[in-house]
Amino acid sequence: MISDKRIDTTKPLIHVGFAHTGTTSLQENIFQRLPNVFYAGIPYSTLGGIFSYIKYLDFDDYRFDLTHKLCFDYIFDKMVPGQRLVLSDETFVDQPATYFTPAMMPVRMVAERLKYHFGNATILFTIRSQYASVLSNYQVYRSRSRSLSGLEVESFNAWLAGNTTQMRNLYLRNLDISHAIQIYADVFGVESVKVLPLKILMVHGFDVYRDRLSEATGLELSSFSADAYVARNKSDDASLNLNDHQRQVIWERAKEGNKRIARAFGLPLAEFGYPFP
Protein backbone atom coordinates (compact mmCIF):
# COMPACT_ATOMS: atom_id res chain seq x y z
CA MET A 1 0.00 0.00 0.00
CA ILE A 2 1.06 3.55 -0.69
CA SER A 3 1.36 5.61 2.49
CA ASP A 4 -2.05 6.60 3.83
CA LYS A 5 -0.77 9.79 5.44
CA ARG A 6 -2.98 12.75 4.62
CA ILE A 7 -1.75 14.71 1.61
CA ASP A 8 -1.42 18.47 1.90
CA THR A 9 -3.37 19.55 -1.18
CA THR A 10 -2.01 23.09 -0.98
CA LYS A 11 1.47 21.81 -1.86
CA PRO A 12 2.52 21.62 -5.51
CA LEU A 13 2.51 18.16 -7.02
CA ILE A 14 5.61 17.32 -9.05
CA HIS A 15 5.40 14.14 -11.11
CA VAL A 16 9.07 13.62 -11.87
CA GLY A 17 9.20 10.25 -13.61
CA PHE A 18 10.08 7.68 -14.57
CA ALA A 19 9.89 7.63 -18.36
CA HIS A 20 7.96 4.80 -20.05
CA THR A 21 5.70 4.29 -17.02
CA GLY A 22 2.45 5.67 -18.45
CA THR A 23 3.56 9.28 -18.00
CA THR A 24 2.09 10.60 -21.26
CA SER A 25 -1.23 8.94 -20.48
CA LEU A 26 -1.38 10.70 -17.11
CA GLN A 27 -0.37 14.02 -18.63
CA GLU A 28 -2.92 13.94 -21.46
CA ASN A 29 -5.80 12.04 -19.85
CA ILE A 30 -5.77 13.38 -16.29
CA PHE A 31 -3.40 16.18 -15.30
CA GLN A 32 -4.38 18.52 -18.14
CA ARG A 33 -8.10 17.97 -17.51
CA LEU A 34 -8.29 18.58 -13.78
CA PRO A 35 -10.37 21.50 -12.52
CA ASN A 36 -8.79 23.79 -9.94
CA VAL A 37 -5.32 22.84 -11.17
CA PHE A 38 -2.68 24.94 -12.86
CA TYR A 39 -0.95 22.37 -15.04
CA ALA A 40 2.68 23.13 -15.97
CA GLY A 41 4.08 20.11 -17.71
CA ILE A 42 4.57 18.13 -20.89
CA PRO A 43 3.51 19.09 -23.50
CA TYR A 44 4.85 22.56 -22.78
CA SER A 45 4.05 25.86 -24.42
CA THR A 46 5.63 29.08 -23.16
CA LEU A 47 6.69 27.29 -19.97
CA GLY A 48 9.13 24.97 -21.71
CA GLY A 49 12.08 27.33 -21.36
CA ILE A 50 11.77 27.41 -17.58
CA PHE A 51 12.15 23.68 -17.25
CA SER A 52 14.80 23.46 -19.95
CA TYR A 53 16.89 25.83 -17.81
CA ILE A 54 16.30 23.66 -14.73
CA LYS A 55 17.21 20.41 -16.48
CA TYR A 56 19.95 21.33 -18.89
CA LEU A 57 21.89 24.45 -17.86
CA ASP A 58 25.06 23.64 -15.97
CA PHE A 59 26.06 25.32 -12.73
CA ASP A 60 28.08 28.14 -14.27
CA ASP A 61 25.30 29.16 -16.66
CA TYR A 62 22.32 28.73 -14.36
CA ARG A 63 20.72 31.86 -12.91
CA PHE A 64 18.40 31.20 -10.00
CA ASP A 65 17.14 34.80 -10.04
CA LEU A 66 16.14 34.73 -13.71
CA THR A 67 14.45 31.33 -13.51
CA HIS A 68 12.63 32.33 -10.33
CA LYS A 69 11.33 35.48 -12.00
CA LEU A 70 10.10 33.42 -14.96
CA CYS A 71 8.30 31.07 -12.54
CA PHE A 72 6.47 34.04 -11.06
CA ASP A 73 5.73 35.69 -14.41
CA TYR A 74 4.44 32.58 -16.16
CA ILE A 75 3.15 30.38 -13.35
CA PHE A 76 2.55 31.86 -9.90
CA ASP A 77 1.20 35.22 -11.08
CA LYS A 78 -1.23 33.45 -13.42
CA MET A 79 -2.66 31.10 -10.80
CA VAL A 80 -5.98 31.97 -9.20
CA PRO A 81 -6.87 31.43 -5.53
CA GLY A 82 -7.65 27.81 -4.82
CA GLN A 83 -5.65 26.39 -7.69
CA ARG A 84 -3.06 23.70 -7.06
CA LEU A 85 0.10 23.61 -9.13
CA VAL A 86 0.80 20.31 -10.92
CA LEU A 87 4.08 19.72 -12.76
CA SER A 88 4.69 16.59 -14.79
CA ASP A 89 7.89 15.90 -16.67
CA GLU A 90 9.63 12.53 -16.70
CA THR A 91 12.79 14.16 -18.01
CA PHE A 92 13.40 15.57 -14.54
CA VAL A 93 15.10 12.19 -13.96
CA ASP A 94 15.37 10.56 -17.41
CA GLN A 95 16.89 11.62 -20.71
CA PRO A 96 14.55 12.27 -23.65
CA ALA A 97 14.61 9.18 -25.86
CA THR A 98 16.10 10.80 -28.96
CA TYR A 99 19.45 10.27 -30.67
CA PHE A 100 20.34 13.97 -30.41
CA THR A 101 19.48 14.90 -26.85
CA PRO A 102 20.86 17.54 -24.47
CA ALA A 103 23.05 16.54 -21.57
CA MET A 104 20.93 16.52 -18.43
CA MET A 105 22.20 17.89 -15.14
CA PRO A 106 22.67 15.42 -12.26
CA VAL A 107 19.40 14.36 -10.66
CA ARG A 108 20.26 15.98 -7.33
CA MET A 109 20.93 19.32 -9.00
CA VAL A 110 17.54 19.18 -10.78
CA ALA A 111 15.78 18.21 -7.54
CA GLU A 112 17.41 21.05 -5.60
CA ARG A 113 16.46 23.56 -8.29
CA LEU A 114 12.84 22.35 -8.20
CA LYS A 115 12.84 22.68 -4.41
CA TYR A 116 14.23 26.23 -4.62
CA HIS A 117 11.66 27.41 -7.17
CA PHE A 118 8.57 25.49 -6.03
CA GLY A 119 9.17 24.88 -2.34
CA ASN A 120 7.80 21.93 -0.43
CA ALA A 121 6.01 19.63 -2.83
CA THR A 122 4.52 16.18 -3.09
CA ILE A 123 6.76 14.12 -5.37
CA LEU A 124 5.20 11.38 -7.49
CA PHE A 125 7.20 8.60 -9.11
CA THR A 126 5.42 6.24 -11.48
CA ILE A 127 7.36 3.01 -11.97
CA ARG A 128 7.34 -0.03 -14.25
CA SER A 129 9.25 -3.30 -14.42
CA GLN A 130 12.64 -2.59 -15.92
CA TYR A 131 12.21 -5.52 -18.28
CA ALA A 132 9.31 -3.72 -19.95
CA SER A 133 10.64 -0.18 -19.61
CA VAL A 134 13.92 -1.03 -21.35
CA LEU A 135 12.06 -2.40 -24.38
CA SER A 136 9.76 0.61 -24.43
CA ASN A 137 12.71 3.00 -24.13
CA TYR A 138 14.39 1.45 -27.15
CA GLN A 139 11.23 1.52 -29.28
CA VAL A 140 10.65 5.21 -28.57
CA TYR A 141 14.36 5.96 -29.08
CA ARG A 142 14.34 4.14 -32.45
CA SER A 143 11.16 5.79 -33.67
CA ARG A 144 12.09 9.33 -32.68
CA SER A 145 15.71 9.05 -33.80
CA ARG A 146 14.73 7.78 -37.25
CA SER A 147 12.35 10.70 -37.77
CA LEU A 148 14.91 13.18 -36.48
CA SER A 149 18.05 12.00 -38.26
CA GLY A 150 16.63 10.00 -41.16
CA LEU A 151 19.23 7.32 -40.40
CA GLU A 152 18.83 3.70 -39.39
CA VAL A 153 19.64 3.37 -35.69
CA GLU A 154 21.43 0.49 -34.02
CA SER A 155 19.67 -2.78 -33.30
CA PHE A 156 18.18 -3.43 -29.88
CA ASN A 157 20.99 -5.88 -29.09
CA ALA A 158 23.68 -3.32 -29.92
CA TRP A 159 21.82 -0.50 -28.14
CA LEU A 160 21.35 -2.47 -24.92
CA ALA A 161 24.90 -3.80 -24.94
CA GLY A 162 26.29 -0.31 -25.47
CA ASN A 163 24.09 1.23 -22.79
CA THR A 164 25.14 -1.34 -20.20
CA THR A 165 28.88 -0.88 -20.62
CA GLN A 166 28.81 1.91 -18.03
CA MET A 167 27.65 2.03 -14.43
CA ARG A 168 25.09 4.76 -15.23
CA ASN A 169 24.56 5.78 -18.81
CA LEU A 170 22.57 8.15 -20.97
CA TYR A 171 19.38 6.27 -21.81
CA LEU A 172 19.24 3.68 -19.01
CA ARG A 173 20.40 5.85 -16.13
CA ASN A 174 17.65 4.61 -13.82
CA LEU A 175 17.76 0.83 -14.06
CA ASP A 176 18.24 1.18 -10.30
CA ILE A 177 15.14 3.27 -9.57
CA SER A 178 16.10 3.68 -5.92
CA HIS A 179 18.89 6.11 -6.83
CA ALA A 180 16.64 8.93 -8.06
CA ILE A 181 13.89 8.19 -5.54
CA GLN A 182 16.37 8.45 -2.66
CA ILE A 183 17.69 11.77 -3.98
CA TYR A 184 14.21 13.30 -4.09
CA ALA A 185 13.51 11.87 -0.62
CA ASP A 186 16.68 13.57 0.63
CA VAL A 187 15.73 16.91 -0.92
CA PHE A 188 11.96 17.02 -0.28
CA GLY A 189 11.65 14.62 2.67
CA VAL A 190 10.75 10.95 2.49
CA GLU A 191 7.19 11.65 3.64
CA SER A 192 6.64 13.76 0.51
CA VAL A 193 7.61 11.00 -1.96
CA LYS A 194 4.95 8.67 -3.38
CA VAL A 195 5.51 5.70 -5.69
CA LEU A 196 2.86 4.25 -8.00
CA PRO A 197 3.51 1.09 -10.09
CA LEU A 198 1.93 1.01 -13.55
CA LYS A 199 1.26 -2.69 -12.99
CA ILE A 200 -1.64 -1.76 -10.72
CA LEU A 201 -3.46 -0.51 -13.82
CA MET A 202 -2.75 -3.74 -15.70
CA VAL A 203 -3.58 -6.14 -12.87
CA HIS A 204 -6.38 -4.38 -10.98
CA GLY A 205 -7.86 -2.10 -13.64
CA PHE A 206 -8.34 1.61 -14.07
CA ASP A 207 -10.57 2.27 -11.06
CA VAL A 208 -8.04 0.88 -8.58
CA TYR A 209 -5.19 2.66 -10.35
CA ARG A 210 -7.12 5.95 -10.29
CA ASP A 211 -7.89 5.55 -6.59
CA ARG A 212 -4.26 4.79 -5.76
CA LEU A 213 -3.19 7.83 -7.78
CA SER A 214 -5.70 9.97 -5.89
CA GLU A 215 -4.48 8.59 -2.56
CA ALA A 216 -0.86 9.31 -3.45
CA THR A 217 -1.41 12.83 -4.75
CA GLY A 218 -4.45 14.20 -2.95
CA LEU A 219 -6.09 14.96 -6.32
CA GLU A 220 -9.85 14.50 -6.64
CA LEU A 221 -10.16 11.97 -9.46
CA SER A 222 -13.54 10.32 -8.89
CA SER A 223 -15.00 11.83 -12.07
CA PHE A 224 -12.46 10.05 -14.30
CA SER A 225 -13.49 6.74 -15.84
CA ALA A 226 -11.69 4.11 -17.88
CA ASP A 227 -13.48 5.34 -21.01
CA ALA A 228 -11.59 8.63 -20.83
CA TYR A 229 -8.21 6.99 -20.20
CA VAL A 230 -6.50 6.32 -23.53
CA ALA A 231 -3.10 4.63 -23.39
CA ARG A 232 -0.45 6.75 -25.11
CA ASN A 233 2.92 5.79 -26.63
CA LYS A 234 2.17 2.09 -26.37
CA SER A 235 5.04 -0.21 -27.30
CA ASP A 236 3.80 -2.22 -30.25
CA ASP A 237 6.79 -4.13 -31.66
CA ALA A 238 6.02 -7.68 -30.60
CA SER A 239 9.20 -8.93 -32.27
CA LEU A 240 11.36 -7.35 -29.57
CA ASN A 241 12.03 -9.63 -26.64
CA LEU A 242 14.71 -9.97 -24.02
CA ASN A 243 16.89 -13.04 -24.22
CA ASP A 244 18.15 -14.77 -21.09
CA HIS A 245 21.46 -12.87 -21.05
CA GLN A 246 19.75 -9.49 -21.44
CA ARG A 247 17.28 -10.30 -18.67
CA GLN A 248 20.20 -11.28 -16.44
CA VAL A 249 22.00 -7.98 -17.11
CA ILE A 250 18.88 -5.97 -16.24
CA TRP A 251 18.17 -8.16 -13.19
CA GLU A 252 21.66 -7.60 -11.82
CA ARG A 253 21.36 -3.82 -12.06
CA ALA A 254 17.76 -3.46 -10.92
CA LYS A 255 17.14 -6.09 -8.25
CA GLU A 256 18.56 -4.43 -5.14
CA GLY A 257 17.02 -1.05 -5.89
CA ASN A 258 13.64 -2.67 -6.42
CA LYS A 259 14.00 -4.48 -3.10
CA ARG A 260 14.76 -1.21 -1.31
CA ILE A 261 11.75 0.54 -2.87
CA ALA A 262 9.43 -2.40 -2.22
CA ARG A 263 10.41 -2.38 1.45
CA ALA A 264 10.30 1.40 1.87
CA PHE A 265 6.89 1.90 0.23
CA GLY A 266 5.21 -1.45 0.91
CA LEU A 267 4.90 -2.39 -2.75
CA PRO A 268 4.62 -6.00 -4.05
CA LEU A 269 7.20 -5.53 -6.79
CA ALA A 270 8.29 -9.19 -6.80
CA GLU A 271 4.67 -10.25 -7.38
CA PHE A 272 4.42 -7.68 -10.17
CA GLY A 273 7.31 -9.30 -12.06
CA TYR A 274 10.00 -6.72 -11.35
CA PRO A 275 13.63 -7.85 -11.24
CA PHE A 276 13.97 -8.96 -7.62
CA PRO A 277 16.56 -10.83 -5.57
- Which pLDDT does position 232 carry in this prediction? 67
Q: Residue 131's domain spans which residues?
A: 13-265
Is residue 180 assigned to a domain? Answer: yes
* CATH label of the domain that carries residue 149: 3.40.50.300
- Which pLDDT does position 3 carry in this prediction? 42
Is residue 121 assigned to a domain? Answer: yes
pTM comes to 0.92
Is residue 4 assigned to a domain? Answer: no
Is residue 272 assigned to a domain? Answer: no
- Which pLDDT does position 151 carry in this prediction? 77
Is residue 178 assigned to a domain? Answer: yes
Count of domains for the chain:
1
What stretches in the chain show pLDDT beneath 50?
1-4
pLDDT in tens, 18-41: 999 999 999 999 999 999 999 999
Is residue 6 assigned to a domain? Answer: no
- Which pLDDT does position 7 carry in this prediction? 60
Is residue 60 assigned to a domain? Answer: yes
DSSP string across the chain = ----SPP-TTS-EEEEE-TTSSHHHHHHHTGGG-TTEEEEESSPSTTHHHHHHHHH--TTT--HHHHHHHHHHHTGGG--TT-EEEEE-GGGTS--SSSS-PPPPPHHHHHHHHHHHH-S-EEEEEE--HHHHHHHHHHHHHHHHHHHH-SPPPPHHHHHHHHTSSSS-SS-TTSSHHHHHHHHHHHH-GGGEEEEETHHHHHH-HHHHHHHHHHHH----TT--GGG----S----TT----HHHHHHHHHHHHHHHHHHHHHHT--TTTTT----
Is residue 39 assigned to a domain? Answer: yes
